[in-house]
């Protein structure tokens, strides 16, 4: 993978002290999620439990190998984080907007992920429209790769990106979950 899409770590970065990251469970009607957060309660990753191997790859890509760049410790979710996530499930789409996310993507990835957070709940956007929205209309493929590399699913709502023809395409948690998330958000948005 090219340096544009994958963060390269210098030997000095690997020599830095290991950062503790915590992992907790979050139950949703679409399945169990693993939530990774730091000591400041910033989200580092959110992934479906049955895709734990993907979670480990994303953490290693963003933070270095476990034991060198981070140390993952099981923990219960902090109350504020748990309340916001549960409120989202109860239909309050704004509850997760204030959650802080801290990822180590490239500047391009960061711009895509920030744009994802601006897509309103209950709405979708095509990869092409997202590329145009960030001022890079010719970078549709690169936008797709950045969306796929998003380590904080649901909160950074990559599920809101669809194909140009309106079809549901690519979602790391599977298309059934993508369909459920979109239906949940549409119903909650319509109920306001």
Average pLDDT, the chain: 88
Q: Which CATH number is 11-96 given?
A: 3.30.160
Let me know: does 151 contact 109? Beta carbons within 8 Å.
no
What is the pLDDT at residue 71?
A: 85
The residue-averaged pLDDT of 61-89 equals 89
Closest CA to 9 of 70, 63, 45: 63
pLDDT digits (tens, 9 = 90+) for 169-191: 888 888 999 999 999 999 988 77
What are the residue ranges spanned by the domains of the chain? 11-96, 107-190
pLDDT digits (tens, 9 = 90+) for 2-57: 333 334 445 444 445 578 899 999 999 999 999 999 999 999 999 999 999 999 99
Question: Alpha-carbon distance 14 to 117, whole Å?
Answer: 30
Cα distance from N-terminal residue to C-terminal residue, the chain: 43
Q: What is the pTM of this model?
A: 0.86
Let me know: does 104 contact 58? Beta carbons within 8 Å.
no
Catalytic positions = 158
Q: Which CATH number is 107-190 given?
A: 1.10.10.10
């Amino acid at each position: 993978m090219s340096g544009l899409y994958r963060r390269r770590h210098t030997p000095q970065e690997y020599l830095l002290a290991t950062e503790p990251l915590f992992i907790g469970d979050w139950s949703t009607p679409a399945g169990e999620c693993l939530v990774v957060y730091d000591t400041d309660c910033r989200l580092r990753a959110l992934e479906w439990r049955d895709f734990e191997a993907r979670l480990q790859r994303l953490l290693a890509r963003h933070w270095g190998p476990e034991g060198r760049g981070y140390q993952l410790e099981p923990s219960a979710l902090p109350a504020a984080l748990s309340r916001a996530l549960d409120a989202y499930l109860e239909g309050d789409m704004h509850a997760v907007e204030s959650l802080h996310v801290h990822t180590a993507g490239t500047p391009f990835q960061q711009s895509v992920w920030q744009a994802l957070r601006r897509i309103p709940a209950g709405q979708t956007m095509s990869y092409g429209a997202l590329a145009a929205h960030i001022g890079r209309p010719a970078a549709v493929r690169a936008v797709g790769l950045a969306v796929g590399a998003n380590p904080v699913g649901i909160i950074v709502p990559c599920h809101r990106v669809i194909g140009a023809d309106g079809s549901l395409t690519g979602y790391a948690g599977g298309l059934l979950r993508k369909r459920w998330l979109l239906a949940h958000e549409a119903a909650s948005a319509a109920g306001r």
